[in-house]
Structure 1
Amino acid sequence: MSTSGRPLPSLPQYRKDSVTRRLCASVHLDDAFALYVDRALTGDRLDALGLSLGINFVALARQARRATLRRAALDRRLAWLAAVVPVALLVGLWGLVNGHGSLGWVAIFGLLGAYAAAWTLVHRKESTDRDLAREIYLSAGKPEQTAQPVEPEAEAWLNEVKRANVLPYADAAAQTTPFVGSGSKIKEVVWQPIDVSRPAEAPGGGKLPLRDFDAVDLHTYVARHMESISGLQGLRAQNRLYVIGSNASYLPELVPDRTARPHARIPKHLVQAGLQNPGAGMRTHLCLERIGEGGRMIVSMYLRAILHPPSLTWEVAAYAIPPLDGRFHRVDRLPVAPRERWWDLVGHATRHTGGELRGALGRLRSRRRWQHDHERALTRLRRAITKQHVLYDYGAKGSLREDLGAWDEAGYAERTDAQDFLFRLQQGVLVATERFLQDHNVDTSSYDKAVQVISTQTYNIGNVSGPSIFGNDGRIAMGGQQGPGPHGGQGPQGGPGPAGSGPPPP
């Protein structure tokens, strides 16, 4: 029902977990992507994992493990069948040389039998993969409920990452931004200073007594009221400590074991300390994250109140992540009519059986070799950390959500939504700051002058422009052809995975 009380029908909506469902479906349609996700989310590692940003990592990890186990089982069966081929050839050759023609026929039937069995296995797996992908994407049940849990410690860590209040970032990002994995930069700026030393006028004359406050109080107030002030329902607001990766080991609560991955949550007072008294490469920012319809577009604003009496200013950074790359829409295009589905599966099995049969043993060896090399590298690294006291960079280098996005998938609606989110976030911060200062009896005349400076420039998102966002001294480009995405507007850089285009189901 609208605000006027007029009854209106409910139109189909994007699912809130649309991105998670699409990725969970994609791991069953792309074996390389499934293996990549399984290693990234549950593999042994020392560096931090980027923020989840709207993805249910537990559900994705479970489905990726389910897909990789099924792929490994198929390769083992195909490897046994592949071993039949040289044996059959040798038997047939020996029979021909020694005048036993019947053995030649045995060899031929053996080869045909091995190929038929392999064809059946490939056909069955592809059929199962497609059925699972569509079931996960379209069913009412949650994706994590249809797969077995992974290791308990891995799931506990992934649940912790979902509520992360600390993020070590890679040393290489220190020269550009600590907000790794947040997407394309819209703006980084320090707003006009505000004089907070003068008391406000009392109603009956004279001055009101100033009420003491610090940066923690201001952050808490903004975080608590931003959703209602901005009108952005579902806005996520929390303080998060950003730590440069090589300094993470100096914080025992973050890295209690220097040979293990860092925690994603630390005690609240340490997060507040990073705001009041920043450490060496350790600063706390108020993180405002707004996820668009179905998780297609993500806009983030990072704030840090810089309070050095008599002035207050805000450090402001804004970023955006575009929709998933078109490769992840393959589940929308799977043939479902019985005749078309049957022909498509037959064609798939016929085209791929030969390659699958020939490469099965190599794939098994490759996975074992990678695991062996990975474990050896981690063993050497852990020995260097403990024996040689090597200073390790525990910082995350990005995020899964950022790597899988593509600006060419961001349409007009996503760009205008991002514009609206950014404008509302800016206005919300300004309004919340004014109300906070008024509550503490601060004269806001300096604030009014600062707002005039902040609100005089323009910005641009894709090819949709508008006024007053972040005090930029020019146009702000984001995505599309107006400004490259995180990888030059071409989608993820080497990010494995499937997909296409089309809206998710309501």
Structure 2
Amino acid sequence: MHLDDHFAQQVHEEFTADRMAALGLPLGVNLVAIVRHARVAVKRTETRDRRLAWLFAGWGAALLLAMYGLGSGSSVVAAAGGCGILVVLGTAWWLVHQAESEARAAALAVRDTGSKPGDLAPPAPQEVEDQLRELKRANVMPYTAAAERTNPFVGSGRKIKEAVWQPIDISAPAHAPGGGKLTITPFDAVDLHTYVAREMEKVAGLEGLRAQNRLYVLGTHVQRVGPELLPEPAGRPRARIPTQLVQAGLVHPGAGMRTYLSLERVGEGGRVIVSMYLRARLQHPSLSWEVAAFAIPPVSSRYNRVDYLPLDGFERWWSLVRFATRQTWPALRGALRRNHRRGSERSQKARDLEKWRKEIGKRHAVYDYGAVDSLRERVASWDALGHSDRTDSQDFLHRLQQGVLIATERFLKDHNVDTSSFDKAQQVINTQTYNFSGDITGPSNFGNNGQVTAYGQGPLPSGAPGNAGGQP
């Protein structure tokens, strides 16, 4: 935020400006802290540019004065103009130096602080922070219509796996201990989702796993959900809705409205984020799981500038001097253009929003309220994915898959369902693998223009990597 003016401006506009589209999930990101520091960075940059714009006007006046003096033969006037130019350039140099010094100090303070970097910046408006905190606990996610054909889980990263697991027969009652058959306890998909969500952290062995049901809604269908999701047609969708609506999307899924059990695990230091989305397809007499797995790699190295800043002494002083000397003239010359561009972009966005709101109010136009991506996904880079990141992520996904299977089996047994069909299906499901860049000891499966190859349902091909003993 503090070391990249353009990025800070983007984040500030995205999370604090007026908008109608939903925001992507804050996976592994403290949005409140980020937005607070973005506001500080933007305020510092805009203050610097306003002052530089006035200085540029002064520089122009001093230049004209010097040229007039030279043309008229008045050395006094020419000297006054020349002194004015030097004063303007010196003042501009100091403004650039001071702004960069403050930015670096703020960035280093954030890096070196403890667990609450948000406390180092003043709060954003209460309404903004309330929305960001609500988004952290989102149980509904509108997704853009452009993602309907490929991936409704916008902002979750790259798809690693997508499958519908082997159907399980749930019509046969389990055997009673003394002989005979037990009576099956009736259940529905909501019961199964709730049980798996409650048990996953324990059975998967993944501390800090976040599990919850979430309704995914096509952006153009948001208004159909009702005022609980969209209080005002010209406003922004809410991030939390009544639980009954979320459950309704599971029991009675419709076009563009489906509820998934979202399992999200953030790796050490937030380097890798793994998500698994499940939906129980319960149609008697069988049950199957729809499964999709995603991963977000580490943050791109271009955002690690703070780790290479000189900390103190001559090196820090000389670095700031070189920066200010190199950037003063471009910053001074472009100040008016940057100020105009920021104002023009804000005005254009405001006009576009006003136009859409009129279309919605007068003509009942259909607006796409869906989110496009997430901040964490945008700053990620697969080039930064290391060996330990791959193995950790594969471990997360295997644990999630095994946890779902264990929880499902326990649920069926608790409801007196015979699990022999489940046992057979589990043998097939367990042959599925999640490869990020190929097996560690085998040939690479990472190709096809960066797409990850994952083996599908059923036994692996003969000689395929990871097919040791038919287990992942």
Q: Same fold (TM over 0.5)?
A: yes
Consecutive unaligned residues of structure 1, counting only runs of 5 or more, are 1-26, 468-474, 487-506
1:441 to 409, 416, 427: 416
1:333 paired residue among 305, 308, 318: 308
- Kindly provide the amino acid, as one letter, of the partner of residue 448 in structure 1: D
* Structure 2: distance between partners of 1:459 and 1:55: 24
Residue aligning to 1:412: 387
1:184 aligns with 2:165: no
Deviation at 1:458, TM superposition (A): 4.1
In structure 2, the CA distance between the partners of 1:457 and 1:164, relative to structure 1 (3 Å rule), is closer
Looking at structure 2, the residues matched to 376 and 414 of structure 1 have their Cα atoms a distance apart, in angstroms, of 44
**Deviation per residue, 1:197-244 (Å, 9 max, x gap):** 100111110001111111101001100000000000100000000001
Maintained 8 Å contact 1:458/1:465: no
Between the aligned partners of 1:351 and 1:64, the Cα distance in structure 2 is 25
Report the Cα offset of residue 151 of structure 1. Answer: 2.1
Query: Which of 176, 182, 190 is matched with 1:202 structurally?
Result: 176
> 2:61 corresponds to which residue?
87
In the TM superposition, what is the alpha-carbon distance from 1:44 to its structure 2 partner? 1.0
Would the aligned equivalents of 1:477 and 1:483 in 2 still touch at CA under 8 Å?
no
Rounded Cα–Cα distance in structure 2 between residues aligned with 1:466 and 1:48: 42
Please state how far the C-alpha of 1:71 moved relative to its aligned partner.
Answer: 0.4
Q: Alpha-carbon deviation of 1:361?
A: 1.0
Aligned equivalents of 1:107, 1:444: Cα separation in 2 = 91
Aligned to 2:266: 291
8 Å Cα contact 2:171-2:417 kept in structure 1:
yes
Which position in structure 1 is the counterpart of 2:461? Answer: none
Choose which of 243, 247, 258 in structure 2 pairs with 1:272. 247
Deviation at 1:181, TM superposition (A): 0.8
- Residue of structure 2 equivalent to 1:349: 324
Q: Deviations over 1:84-113 (max 9, x none)?
A: 112112222222333321111111111011
Q: How do 1:42-121 residues align onto structure 2 when only pairs under 5 Å count?
A: 42-121=16-95
**Aligned with residue 280 of structure 2, among 279, 282, 305:** 305
Partner in structure 1 of residue 103 of structure 2: 129
Letter paired with 1:107: G
Deviates more, 1:63-72 or 1:136-145: 136-145
Note if contact 1:459-1:476 (Cα within 8 Å) is conserved in structure 2: no
Q: Give secondary structure in 2 for the equivalent of 1:460.
A: coil
Among candidates 256, 267, 282, match of residue 231 of structure 2:
256
1:398 has 2:395 as partner: no
Cross-structure match for 2:450 = 484
CA distance in 2, matches of 1:462, 1:387: 52
Q: Report the identity percentage.
A: 56
1:237 corresponds to 2:203: no
Aligned residue type for 1:322: P
> 2:294 pairs with 310, 316, 319, which one?
319
Contact 1:187 1:476 in 2 (8 A): no
**Aligned equivalents of 2:431 and 2:64: distance in 1?**
82
Cα displacement (A) at 1:368 = 0.7
Distance 1:287 1:457, change over 3 A: closer
In 1, distance between residues paired with 2:64 and 2:45? Answer: 30
- Tell me whether 1:173 sits opposite 2:139 in the alignment: no
CA RMSD of aligned residues (A): 1.7
The question of whether the paired residues in 2 share the 8 Å contact of 1:462 and 1:482 is answered with no
Give the Cα–Cα distance (whole angstroms) in 1 for the partners of residues 134 and 280 of structure 2: 26
Matched, 1:32 2:6: yes
CA distance in 2, matches of 1:318, 1:141: 29
SS of structure 1 residue aligned to 2:435: strand
Which whole-Å CA distance do the structure 2 matches of 1:251 and 1:457 have between them?
36
Q: Distance in 1 between matches of 2:401 and 2:4?
A: 40
Which residue of the partner structure matches residue 23 of structure 1?
none
Q: Which amino acid aligns with 2:270?
A: G
What's the TM-score once normalised by structure 1's chain length?
Answer: 0.87
The structure 1 residue matched to 2:439, chosen from 464, 467, 472, is 464
Question: For 1:162, which of 113, 123, 136 is the aligned residue?
Answer: 136
Judge conservation of contact 1:463–1:482 (CA < 8 Å) in 2: no
* Contact 1:458–1:476, Cα closer than 8 Å, also in 2: no
Q: Residue 459 of structure 1: CA displacement?
A: 4.1
Report the TM-score, using the length of structure 2 for normalisation: 0.93
- For residues 237-270 of structure 1, what are the alpha-carbon distances to aligned partners after superposition, in whole Å with 9 as ceiling and x for unaligned? 0000000110011112111211011000000111
